[in-house]
Amino acid sequence: MGDTKETPETVLRGIEAARLAGLKVKVNAVIRAGYNEHSVEK
């Protein structure tokens, strides 16, 4: 999950809580060479 100590589950719970509170949620991603580019379809 990148540069955070939080687990993916914690992040997803936070996103869901924000959504349920009526907030619009936008999730961004940063692709880093040698780190996570294998996760992106080419």
Amino acid at 17: A
| Domain presence at residue 16 | yes
Residue 17 belongs to some domain of the structure: yes
Say what the pLDDT of residue 11 is. Answer: 92
pLDDT at 2: 66
Task: Answer whether residue 3 is part of any domain.
Answer: no
Q: Does a structural domain hold residue 1?
A: no
* Cα 17 from Cα 41, distance rounded (Å): 29
Q: How many domains does the chain have?
A: 1
Q: Is residue 30 part of a domain?
A: yes
CA-to-CA dists, residue 39 to 6, 15, 34, 35, 36, angstroms? 19, 21, 11, 9, 6
Inside any domain, residue 21: yes
Residue 34 lies in a domain: yes
Structural domain including 21 reads 8-39
| pLDDT tens readout for residues 3-42 | 788 998 999 999 999 999 999 999 988 888 888 888 887 7
